[in-house]
Structure 1
């Protein structure tokens, strides 16, 4: 899978949203075109990163049970005012052979994580359309190379605070979230294992285990009107306390991802559906 395709998956899930009213009729489907720039570490704990400009295509579909929209790809399994059960997705970029820490080791295919996510809207306030949402996603990690293989499992509970802010007399959506990461042994081995055959004088053999995988802080600022979406985002990964933090492939405990994307929507269906942005709706 091309790096640009994987970045499409990640950016779709980083957290963009809308500024529509709580319930409003919107097109059943839209197709958007745009582009952006992302700076991202080769993997969590790597001292090397890249800056990648990329084109961007965003198909949007607002179905009853499946949705691909500005909040990401979601399969809505059930919903109430406070609780929601989704199918969640997340992606990780491939690691090529030009990474110095992994010199001589096999390249790593991109990973796609997929699984159920239970969501609880713990607090809301009508002023500034504020909300605090607790998420508990449990996902299986799949490597996407010549075939599709199960790599391991991840549990990443998070708390997200969202609110509307006004910038230049226009409403924007701002969110900040913190999450804790746990992973299976096989998932951690995928990135941080050093087999004896790959050991060198400066890269000793290492056996990664299951358990705590660090923490993540992310924030995003975005605006959507009828024909355009603008999103800016940042993600900070911290590996302090991770069960694999003493792996020779972990070169630093912190890593920062930065990016932005601008998308225009020239194609929209004539059919409309009523949209209720659950994440932003106050009771």
Structure 2
């Protein structure tokens, strides 16, 4: 249920726990059909939402932008646009989360590992407000995704719904060329999703880890702040994310060790090539 921090950084760039918030809409202009490059990112995040153990990585971050009419990979992630109107878009989008190994997480010792997992499903994007120059905008994003483990025989691990407000600022006053953005909203999951991350079967129960059956429903709040800047052939970006699990349906699970935490990361990417073909875009 936690998008990979790498994806969060890529959504800032192309835009994979911990969350596409740092780019601004621009007036229509011609840009390459595709751009590709390579970068590096450093991220810090919990093993899973509610874990009191953190992981920090330095990771390679491929940079890829594709501005096709149907398939797109940009500041809003990799997606297929099913409907594109002035104020309403319907896309097919996804998310990816890394594995968490129980041997490295004290509270999960002896339990099955949390597999890498992916989410896929439709997302409704509603533009609620946009400035005259299209450099600032407010959107409501409504993704509904089915989640599956990433393995040879993928297993369903429920559904996730994450409605959120998205605010883009096309330029930070006093900081030429820097863009900023914010996202905030609640998360919801069904009982199968919550049981996968927070349930404890009788076979894995101990004196300090009693059996627990997770319920579906509210899964806490998430707030993300991102900044980025595109130079000629270089992109830099950073994000900071705050999660609160207060009031979550699974907040009393013995696997929830903290109800508040911060994740973040920074990345640099170098654009190494682009297509000769140009397309008219407004991103």
1:11 corresponds to: 9
1:132 corresponds to: 138
* 1:47 paired to 2:52: yes
Q: Distance in 1 between matches of 2:31 and 2:25?
A: 9
Q: 1:148 to 1:266 in 2, by over 3 A?
A: same
Aligned pairs for 1:55-70 (under 5 A) are 55-70=60-75
Q: Is the 8 A contact 2:212 2:254 kept in 1?
A: yes
Q: Distance in 1 between matches of 2:81 and 2:165?
A: 19
1:267 corresponds to: 273
SS at 1:109's partner residue? coil
Partner of residue 89 from structure 1, selected from 64, 86, 94: 94
2:235 corresponds to: 229
* 1:193 paired to 2:191: no
Q: Distance in 1 between matches of 2:24 and 2:49?
A: 32
State the superposition RMSD in angstroms: 1.8
2:40 corresponds to: 35
Q: Distance in 2 between matches of 1:254 and 1:128?
A: 35
Q: 1:57 to 1:123 in 2, by over 3 A?
A: same
Q: Is the 8 A contact 1:16 1:72 kept in 2?
A: no
How far 1:188 moved relative to its partner? Answer: 0.4
* 1:252 paired to 2:250: no
Listed as ranges, the gaps of 5+ residues in structure 1 are 1-5, 278-283
SS at 1:140's partner residue? strand
* 1:175 paired to 2:173: no
Q: Distance in 2 between matches of 1:45 and 1:8?
A: 19
Q: Is the 8 A contact 2:26 2:134 kept in 1?
A: no
Q: Distance in 2 between matches of 1:151 and 1:80?
A: 33
* 1:219 paired to 2:225: yes
SS at 1:233's partner residue? strand
SS at 1:148's partner residue? coil
Q: Distance in 2 between matches of 1:19 and 1:124?
A: 11
SS at 1:123's partner residue? strand
The worse-fitting range, judged by mean Cα deviation, of 128-137 and 55-64 is 128-137
Q: How many residues align?
A: 272
SS at 1:188's partner residue? helix
Q: Distance in 2 between matches of 1:16 and 1:248?
A: 33
* 1:109 paired to 2:115: yes
How far 1:167 moved relative to its partner? Answer: 6.2
Normalising by the residue count of structure 1, what TM-score does the alignment of the two structures yield? Answer: 0.90
Larger fraction in strand: 1
SS at 1:170's partner residue? coil
The worse-fitting range, judged by mean Cα deviation, of 73-82 and 243-252 is 73-82
Q: Distance in 1 between matches of 2:24 and 2:186?
A: 28
Partner of residue 206 from structure 1, selected from 205, 212, 215: 212
2:15 corresponds to: none
1:281 corresponds to: none
How far 1:40 moved relative to its partner? Answer: 0.7
1:280 corresponds to: none
Partner of residue 78 from structure 1, selected from 40, 64, 83: 83
SS at 1:12's partner residue? helix
